[in-house]
Each structure stands twice: as structure tokens, then as C-alpha cells.
Amino acid sequence: MRGAVNRYLAGQFARPHGAFGRLIAPLLNQSGAAMMRDAVSALALQPGERLLDLGFGGGALSAAALQAGAIVTGVDRSAAMVARANARFAAAISAGQARFIEGAAEALPLPDAAVDCATSVNTLYFWQDLDTVPRELWRVIAPGGRLVLGWQTADSVRAWPGHIHGFRAWDDAPILSAVARAGFTIGPLSSGHHRMVGDYRTLVALRSMA
């Protein structure tokens, strides 16, 4: 019974869907709160900067970025999360401050150099591989821009039995290598801990001017 529940929850974390998908958004916002707060802090957003929030889920990070004055583009493969964000952020969307698009991290539905900075928290466990998404992020971030990634450590991912249903527990080193291979300069890597997610990392990477 517990195995079936874990399998269902893992599927919802990977791509929230159906009636329960909308209910899971507040849980995502709660469990990822510290990680998203650290990511926003690492982004050091300036008012008017264009931010991509990739895999925005429940939207807590997008909300914080809007508060900081950023212009937010959210991309998520979950139609349920996009619908929820379109309702939650209707005022910001009307004001031209935000938009939320259904799409895959592996083929971002954005033109080259579309944003000044990008972030993705708690999504890399679901990427097809470690190289494709950083390359896509490099393409859509304007020269001189920055990327902030947040992830639970491999041990923390493995601590939840449900991770076997589709989560990839990456060590830090291959993540950093893939980000560097995509063309980014690796910046500060910080560590955090939260009772709901265990140990996690926040990485800042810089996209060169070329």
C-alpha cells in the first residue's frame, strides 16, 4: 500500500496532474520553501530583470521574484501547474510582468537570449540527461546572464523510498561538470538543510558575454 502511495506521489512531484495535481502545489511550495528562498537570494534580482523560472510547480519562487520586481517567464511541463499559475498570477500577467508556458526543459519554448537570468529548483531529478537542459538554459540566457540551480543532495533524494519511482539522485560533481560543459562558468556552490528536504545545494553559474 505504501509503495503504491509513494509511486503516485513520485509521479505527482515529477509532473503534477489531475485533480490532485492542483492540491499538491501548496505542498511543493512548503517543502521547497527554503531552497526557493536561497535561489532567489542567490539570483540577487534587480527590478526589471527578465527571469526564467523553469519547473515553477506551485509558483512560490515566481511569487518572490515578482515581489523583487523581476519580469517572470515560467515554463513547466505540467498543464495543471500552468493553469494554476495563470489563475494565481492573473494580475501580474495582465500587467505584462509574468507569463506561464507549458513546455519541456529539454526544448525550451523560448528564443535565444530571451532572459537575463534563469533558475530551476528541484527539477534536475527528472531531466532526461544532465547535458541537454544546461545547454538549453545557456541558449535562452542572454550573454552576461546568470543561472541558479537548486537540488537535493543524492543522499537526501535516496532518503525518501519513493525516489525509486522516476527520480535520479545525482551527485554534485556530474551536475557541475554538465553545467560547465554547457559553457557556464561555475560560481559559488552553497549548502543548506531543511527538515522536509534534507541537505540541498544552490549553485550560481555565469554565462559568458560571447
Ligand X SMILES: C[S@@+](CC[C@H](N)C(=O)[O-])C[C@H]1O[C@@H](n2cnc3c(N)ncnc32)[C@H](O)[C@@H]1O
Residues that bind ligand X (CB under 6 A): 13-16, 28, 32, 35-36, 55-58, 76-78, 81, 104-106, 121-123, 126-127
Q: Minimum Å distance from CB 151 to ligand X?
A: 10
Q: Minimum Å distance from CB 204 to ligand X?
A: 17
Residue 184 in contact with residue 134, Cβ under 8 Å?
yes
Question: To which H or E segment does residue 20 belong?
Answer: helix 18-31
Q: Minimum Å distance from CB 49 to ligand X?
A: 19
Q: Which of 48, 60, 179, 166 is nearest to 117 (CA)?
A: 48
Q: Minimum Å distance from CB 129 to ligand X?
A: 11
Of 104 and 113, nearer to ligand X (C-beta) is 104
Of all residues in the shown chain, the one whose CB is closest to ligand X is 57
Of 184 and 200, nearer to ligand X (C-beta) is 200
Q: Minimum Å distance from CB 56 to ligand X?
A: 6
Of 30 and 185, nearer to ligand X (C-beta) is 30
CA distances from 139 to 107, 108, 115, 129 (A): 10, 9, 10, 17
Cα dihedral 38/71/46/182 (nearest 10): 60
Residue 13 in contact with residue 98, Cβ under 8 Å?
no
User: What is the Rg, in whole angstroms, of the alpha carbon atoms belonging to the chain?
Assistant: 16
Of 123 and 156, nearer to ligand X (C-beta) is 123
Of 140 and 143, nearer to ligand X (C-beta) is 140
Using CA atoms, how far apart are residues 128 and 77, in angstroms rounded to an integer?
A: 13
